[in-house]
Structure 1
Amino acid sequence: MHNPPAKGLYNLEWTPECFLPPFFPSTPSRTIAKRDNSSFVNSGKDGFSVNGSSLRFIGTNLYWLPTLNSNDDIWNVLKNVSDTGIKVVRIWAFNDVETIPESGTWFQLVQNGTTTINDGPTGLQKLDTIVQMAEQLGLYVIMSLTNNWNPMPNTTTDSSSTQVLAYVTPPRNSLSNDYGGMDLYVRQFALKNHDDFFTSDKILAAFQNYTKQIVLRYFNSPAVFSWELANDARCNSTMPTSATCTTQTITTWHAIMAAFITSLDPNHMVSAGTSGFQCTDCPKLYPITPTASPTPSPAPGKKRSRVTPLTKEQIVKQRAESRRRNRAAAKRAGTLKEDGVMIRGRWVSTATREVSSSIDPTTDGSSGVDSQDILNIPNIGFGSFQVFPDQESYGPNDPNVDPVQNKINLSLAWINQSAQSAAAVGKPVVLNGFGLVTQDNLNNYVPFNATYAPYASNTAVMAATNATTTFANSTQQENGYSSFLTMGNSAGLAGIMQYQWGSAGITQSSATIQLDTTDSPTETGDSPNDGYSIANNPAIQQILKQSAQAMAGDS
């Protein structure tokens, strides 16, 4: 097992001012870790390497793993993951609370502008166990250090009366957004805007203090894949956003934190956990010079091509070409949906069939995220993006394609686009979470910025949103996952991570405290399910296993 530093090391004197601008370099450097025989994973223009060998992987998300009470449960989950051929798991290395719970896991108390670390058996010792077991199984762990999302429990008013109806929320830590995070810091430091998390010196000091204790605890462990600064950091959340939050706000924060962690830990990579949002027209803190950009090794069977930064014109052109192909395919199949009027036996369009020249929130910078600029920060080892088409739109829908296939097609284009964006920087990129919600899972589905399942036994919502046609059935999910994995592999992604793994047979001692056992008696003993769990889904697990074998063979 790793040897954590003495507890006294956690209390070293330091000042956050050392890590405020202009500490990080103003001129980007593309000098990132070179391939060597280190037992720590490192990154370079050709991807990841460890022990002198290249590493490409299939991974999964296990945000809930540290909440399991039983070490046997933790071991069994990790062993099942490993047996599937998965190499990397992504977990929440944070669990912030505003009041100390009577039972269950918590890592840090954030209350009235002060913080307290729980270093006991219900605290960071849980992470110790996971890291030790990962070492024994040969797994790597991406440690995510905070979350953009931490909504308060929701209430709503019945439209037929003034009665306030409180939705039933799952037990604590069942949902990925119920582990504290940025908004908890903002609330407890008596600030009002979500983006205060990125700009407040007091919050920065508190977050760096927590980060320091985690990083120093495991900086000698080869099981740590990377320190992920935050899950899905962006300007907006449940709390209000100030008018001054821009892409430079988020990029600056990533640069500050990456420099801070690198100063503490020379062994591990620092990674961004953004959703992959781009801004082709935003001013850059770390601009790319196209002629100087290294060209990564092509995917197997692909020719090396010149890499250039992604442009708005490229995005619009790619979408127009995709729609043209879909229209032609629909015409051949006899399913073309004409959008005009019939004149003398011919259809005459009443509206343009071209994709609009405007772009959407995933590429216009409105979220405050420019993933390409963040990736070009010298201390960032690799980037990330996510694919959740039930919650994000990755482009305009095509009327010639059914709703679920639209989601899949737009996701595939997003994967390809994200790979191109990262290739222009010359660093690896990982799809750190992808998922499709199925009709069978709608009762459990909770969006990342909510605390309740809007479709659970709610026929009005189901009917209003045509849920039975807009959400995938099991076959569509299987086809979608296979397509995502195939596209990610052919696009040369360094890693692809499904969201989220699920396990059955969790012991009652764990399930009664923090796991989701409220929906029905048949789910007792299953791991948390926010609509994406693949517990009791051998078809998806087999798809992941086959993809893991393919990725390993291409390494």
Structure 2
Amino acid sequence: MRLFSYFWFLTSILSCLAAAPSRTIAERGSSPYVSSGKDGFSVNGSSLRFVGTNLYWLPTLETNDDIWNVLKNISDTGIKVIRIWAFNDVETVPASGTWFQLVQNGTATINEGPNGLQKLDTIVQMAEQQGLYVIMSLTNNWNPVPNTTTIGAPDVLASVALPRNTLSNDFGGMDLYVRQFGLQNHDDFYTSDNVLSAFQAYTKVIVLRYFNSPAVFSWELANDARCNSTMPTSATCTTQTVTKWHALMAAFIASLDPNHIVSAGTSGFQCTDCPKLYPVAPSASPTPSPAPGKKRRKVTPLTKEQIIRQRAESRRQNRAAAKRAGTLKEDGIMIRGRWVSTATRVVSSSTDSSTDGSSGVDSQDILNIPNIGFGSFQLYPDQETYGPYDPNLDPVSNKINSSLTWIQQSAQSAAAVGKPLVLNGFGLVTQTNLNNFVPFNMSYAPYATNTADVSASSDFANSAQQEQGYSSFLQMGDSAGLAGIMQYQWGSAGITQSSAAIQLDTTNSPSTGDSPNDGYSIAGNTAIQQILKQGAQAMAGGS
């Protein structure tokens, strides 16, 4: 495996970013609530840059001791922010386990009992005691249904479905509302008045329950909202459909809660050529002179031409590096027995689904909504494509290189708006974790040994590549000026074995188990935890 390629790539980009002056953030008052501005986040009069982690499963833990121990371990790592699901929608009341809201036949009932919102109460209280902030995500784009009777195409038969709440996509969400309100298309969630009223009613209960808590970092409108999901998409869903919904919900929450930031939770997809509802204003001219010894840094919006140009240059440099290293396949014509011309590759002159608006997401337009306090993007190269495949690189190097460019481009797009940006989830699936890997729009593990050809494992990182990739992501995010970087997902061992979603840990005790693993868990992975700790120290030192 060639590690030189993406380390060279990271170094070349960081050398450019190093020319930018370090940011100094003035005090903005002593409010205990996190606020956002053009220079980043502030709380209690100090700036806040952070490394965080995701725990969608935290509210499902049965005991307060388990919740406390998980949060303490996270805090001890130096992590400052966690991101959880503040929703758990069901279509029928389960026999056991946590649930927050029953959505059935066009009506909704909220569970405020011990296995309902009181679980959230405990998490918010304990997080504050541990010095942690909580991003509260209010719904999810993904909710594949493991049966053959529900509207929309199921992805797998119920006979092989995992226990409820094992997966991040098994907490209800947009498609559950659509199904239970008798609608047909995923994007009906954004346009149906009845669905909007139900979602706003739930949102209002959650927001008013915690609007006085300084432990809440932000209200995240949805995880990875887009036009498409498991259910069909109508022909009328566009980037403006999704942007309008974010603007409406952001204004709704802002009218309820003046204390907390509202964030979008999008995956970061761009559409440079799409019509904008909230266009970025041209840069003011002339700009103030920079301080002595500093260079003026011009921030411009991301363009289609820049994306294509960067991809072509990256491919050229990777090709040259591979040729120097002797790893490039020489399949050209030999001249005079001494010189071999390497094959010329055609570089795509177009963008792809991450930048062409086909997902229905224009993250820059969403970020520029007045009531959106900061931007978000996600990084899952085992599930998404962030650039064309480069034949000069192996599969893992391709993923890491395109990820580093994705971070850089996302930071540039947010800087043009003038608001902070958070990478709210990143992860690489390893070969050793591949049998647990479930993509976000599926409900079973396609690479489990009894369901798939495991020869595909060479396309996934080994442990060393995961460690190097995570270190590179954190370093790039820090240097690019991200306000926060969040790993997906945390994992814990020794959890009380009283939920079907907790995986039995026979190496410890038959009464304990591991937290849910969808292929990204870092339970017991001390190397990754140490990388996150070092990243947290670096981010805090640069605030």
Determine if the TM-score, normalized by the shorter chain, exceeds 0.5. Answer: yes
State the Cα deviation string for residues 445-479 of structure 1 (Å, max 9, x = none). Answer: 0000000001111475223xx32x10000000000
Question: Is 1:66 matched with 2:64?
Answer: no
Paired position in structure 2 for 1:532: 520
Paired position in structure 2 for 1:39: 32
State the Cα deviation string for residues 320-353 of structure 1 (Å, max 9, x = none). Answer: 11111111111111111345444555445665x3
Change (3 A) 1:459 1:186: closer
* 1:386-397 matches, cutoff 5 A: 386-397=378-389
Paired position in structure 2 for 1:145: 138
Shift of 1:443: 1.0
State the Cα deviation string for residues 352-404 of structure 1 (Å, max 9, x = none). Answer: x3521100000000000000000000000001000000000100111111111
Judge conservation of contact 2:378–2:424 (CA < 8 Å) in 1.
Answer: yes
Letter in 2 for 1:280: T
Judge conservation of contact 2:186–2:227 (CA < 8 Å) in 1.
Answer: yes
Change (3 A) 1:188 1:508: same
- 485, 509, 527: which is aligned to 2:474? 485
Change (3 A) 1:51 1:382: same
Paired position in structure 2 for 1:192: 184
Paired position in structure 2 for 1:544: 532
Other structure's SS at 1:291 match: coil
Paired position in structure 1 for 2:364: 372
Q: For the residues of structure 2 that align with 1:401 and 1:136, how far apart are their CA atoms?
A: 47
Q: For the residues of structure 1 that align with 2:508 and 2:258, how far apart are their CA atoms?
A: 48
Letter in 1 for 2:208: L
RMSD: 2.3
* 1:249-328 matches, cutoff 5 A: 249-292=241-284, 303-328=295-320
Q: For the residues of structure 1 that align with 2:378 and 2:157, how far apart are their CA atoms?
A: 33
Judge conservation of contact 2:411–2:421 (CA < 8 Å) in 1.
Answer: yes
Q: For the residues of structure 1 that align with 2:497 and 2:350, how far apart are their CA atoms?
A: 53
Letter in 1 for 2:78: G
Letter in 2 for 1:420: Q
Judge conservation of contact 1:277–1:370 (CA < 8 Å) in 2.
Answer: yes
Judge conservation of contact 1:60–1:498 (CA < 8 Å) in 2.
Answer: yes
Paired position in structure 2 for 1:21: none
- 83, 90, 105: which is aligned to 2:83? 90
Q: For the residues of structure 1 that align with 2:157 and 2:62, how far apart are their CA atoms?
A: 33
Change (3 A) 1:171 1:165: closer
Other structure's SS at 2:247 match: helix
Question: Is 1:470 matched with 2:459?
Answer: yes
- 197, 204, 207: which is aligned to 1:205? 197
Q: For the residues of structure 2 that align with 1:304 and 1:456, how far apart are their CA atoms?
A: 52
Paired position in structure 2 for 1:223: 215
Change (3 A) 1:389 1:89: same
Judge conservation of contact 1:295–1:306 (CA < 8 Å) in 2.
Answer: no
Q: For the residues of structure 2 that align with 1:97 and 1:166, how far apart are their CA atoms?
A: 16
Q: For the residues of structure 1 that align with 2:286 and 2:357, how far apart are their CA atoms?
A: 25
Paired position in structure 1 for 2:417: 425
Letter in 2 for 1:533: S
Question: Is 1:81 matched with 2:68?
Answer: no
Q: For the residues of structure 2 that align with 1:34 and 1:95, how far apart are their CA atoms?
A: 38
Paired position in structure 2 for 1:335: 327
Change (3 A) 1:460 1:498: closer
Q: For the residues of structure 1 that align with 2:158 and 2:331, how far apart are their CA atoms?
A: 43
Question: Is 1:453 matched with 2:445?
Answer: yes
Letter in 2 for 1:514: A
Judge conservation of contact 2:505–2:514 (CA < 8 Å) in 1.
Answer: no
Change (3 A) 1:135 1:244: same
Unaligned segments of structure 2, at least 5 residues? 1-25, 149-155
Judge conservation of contact 2:147–2:157 (CA < 8 Å) in 1.
Answer: no
Letter in 1 for 2:309: K
Letter in 2 for 1:396: P
Other structure's SS at 1:49 match: strand
- 494, 515, 538: which is aligned to 1:505? 494
Q: For the residues of structure 2 that align with 1:49 and 1:324, how far apart are their CA atoms?
A: 41
Q: For the residues of structure 2 that align with 1:424 and 1:478, how far apart are their CA atoms?
A: 31
Letter in 2 for 1:530: D
Judge conservation of contact 1:330–1:400 (CA < 8 Å) in 2.
Answer: yes
TM-score w.r.t. the length of structure 2 is: 0.89
Judge conservation of contact 1:39–1:51 (CA < 8 Å) in 2.
Answer: yes
Other structure's SS at 1:503 match: coil
Q: For the residues of structure 2 that align with 1:522 and 1:244, how far apart are their CA atoms?
A: 54
Change (3 A) 1:549 1:121: same
Q: For the residues of structure 2 that align with 1:366 and 1:302, how far apart are their CA atoms?
A: 40
Q: For the residues of structure 2 that align with 1:315 and 1:527, how far apart are their CA atoms?
A: 39
Other structure's SS at 1:248 match: helix
Q: For the residues of structure 1 that align with 2:286 and 2:146, how far apart are their CA atoms?
A: 47
Paired position in structure 2 for 1:126: 119
Q: For the residues of structure 2 that align with 1:267 and 1:209, how far apart are their CA atoms?
A: 19
Letter in 1 for 2:223: N
Report % sequence identity.
Answer: 81
Shift of 1:514: 3.3
Paired position in structure 2 for 1:13: none
- 469, 492, 501: which is aligned to 1:514? 501
Other structure's SS at 2:453 match: helix
Q: For the residues of structure 1 that align with 2:420 and 2:72, how far apart are their CA atoms?
A: 27
Letter in 1 for 2:125: Q
Report how many residues are paired.
506
State the Cα deviation string for residues 236-289 of structure 1 (Å, max 9, x = none). Answer: 000000000000000000000000000000000000100000000000000012
Q: For the residues of structure 1 that align with 2:330 and 2:227, how far apart are their CA atoms?
A: 40
Q: For the residues of structure 1 that align with 2:90 and 2:451, how far apart are their CA atoms?
A: 35
Q: For the residues of structure 1 that align with 2:335 and 2:242, how far apart are their CA atoms?
A: 53
Letter in 2 for 1:442: L
Judge conservation of contact 1:294–1:424 (CA < 8 Å) in 2.
Answer: no
Letter in 2 for 1:487: M
Q: For the residues of structure 1 that align with 2:509 and 2:435, how far apart are their CA atoms?
A: 14
Letter in 1 for 2:542: D
Letter in 2 for 1:210: Y
Shift of 1:138: 1.0
* 1:346-357 matches, cutoff 5 A: 346-348=339-341, 351=344, 353-357=345-349
Paired position in structure 2 for 1:554: 542
Paired position in structure 2 for 1:100: 93
Change (3 A) 1:518 1:202: farther
Q: For the residues of structure 2 that align with 1:492 and 1:439, how far apart are their CA atoms?
A: 31
Other structure's SS at 1:290 match: coil
